[in-house]
Amino acid sequence: MAKRSNPETVKKAASRKNKVTPGSAERIETDKRIIDTGIFLPCFCPLCSHTLIEDDRVVLDVRRPSGQKGKIRLSPYLNVHESSSTIYIPDDEEVEDIFCPHCHQSLKDTPMQCDECGSAVARFIIRPFYKDIDFFICQKKNCHWHGIGPETKREMELEITGFKNPKDQLELIRTGTKLQFFCPTCGAKLVQGEDLTMVAEDREGRLASLRLSPYLNFFTSECSLMIPDEEDVVDLLCPDCGESFWQSEKYCGLCGSKAAKLDVRGSSFDADFYICMRRQCNWHGLSEKDCRKIILDDSLEW
């Protein structure tokens, strides 16, 4: 015959079983997976599922309140706030809408607002740990707020509540620094004395020497070709080997025109350097990989 349990014993055992032991809440909290600062986040449209990554950037279509349309390019690395745009967007302006560049549908998440400034936010999908989750960004320029949905917060969290300023982490090249430029094909030195020299080609096929300032953010130029204001040169060439500097897959981060690539070297770095090929556009920038270790002083990039 089975032994009958004492009701008081059962009650005490149940009490011991359900009791929360000291520190258990903390252990549950620390069981969350942390999405580390600097980690690459695969990004996708939540509507058509197409990747939003292009050339190591999150590429999105944007529309300003004025109706002007363009593209923005954001860093896909968590807490690295590097970005550029093909149109001018004033500081602190909230863009009217953000769209998928593939299906062209709005990514604006109407119910949500930025936790920092109250502006509208856009939503897309990121895939950390091989799991799709909602990721939100503020639509106001210079507001770096971003977040994940409340359901996701039960399982994982983003590292660092605040924001990481790349200037605190990267090597800064200051305005006025004389940069040493080289041909990326033959390695020829392009700086002679006080001039960065290359060959420009106009729409008539004429060639002439183009001399620019090698000092960062000093925008001087001299060329015998009469190129109209705001017109692209057809090509920029190495004066030694004659190879083109034009990069067909790269565009100006300010006006969207063609861009040329040069090698730039310093005492502690070797990087890809891009310049706009449109007359009177002073945009310049580094490659995506170099932006993670170097920042240009007074950059014109967003």
Q: What is the pLDDT of residues 65-105, one digit of tens each?
A: 999 999 999 988 888 888 888 888 888 899 999 999 999 99
Does residue 179 share a domain with residue 146? no
Three-state secondary structure string covering 72-86 = EEECCECCCCCEEEC
- The answer, yes or no, to whether residue 23 has pLDDT greater than 60, is no
Give just the sign of the alpha carbon dihedral 74, 59, 275, 250.
positive
d(CA 162, CA 150): 18
Does residue 149 share a domain with residue 179? no
Does residue 177 share a domain with residue 57? no
Express as a percent the part of the chain with pLDDT over 90: 45
Structural domain count of the chain: 2
Express as a percent the part of the chain with pLDDT over 70: 83
Last residue of a domain, one of 165, 180, 201: 165
Residue 250: closest CA among 261, 241, 240 = 261
Q: What's the chain's average pLDDT? A: 82
Last residue of a domain, one of 142, 165, 188: 165
Length of the chain: 302
Does residue 200 share a domain with residue 148? no
120, 145 contact by CB (below 8 A): no
Give just the sign of the alpha carbon dihedral 79, 94, 135, 100.
negative
Does residue 134 share a domain with residue 181? no
Over the stretch 116-159, which tens digit does the pLDDT of each residue have?
A: 899 999 999 998 877 889 999 999 998 988 988 887 787 888 87
- The answer, yes or no, to whether residue 58 has pLDDT greater than 50, is yes
Question: Whose structure tokens read 């983003």?
Answer: 158
3 state SS of 208: strand
Does residue 195 share a domain with residue 139? no
- Residue 100 forms part of a structural domain: yes
97, 134 contact by CB (below 8 A): no
Which range of residues forms the domain containing residue 117?
34-165
pLDDT at 43: 94
Last residue of a domain, one of 117, 137, 165: 165
- The answer, yes or no, to whether residue 17 has pLDDT greater than 70, is no
pLDDT at 2: 41
Encoded tokens for 11: 């009650």
Does residue 272 share a domain with residue 248? yes
Residue 148: closest CA among 70, 32, 55, 66 = 32
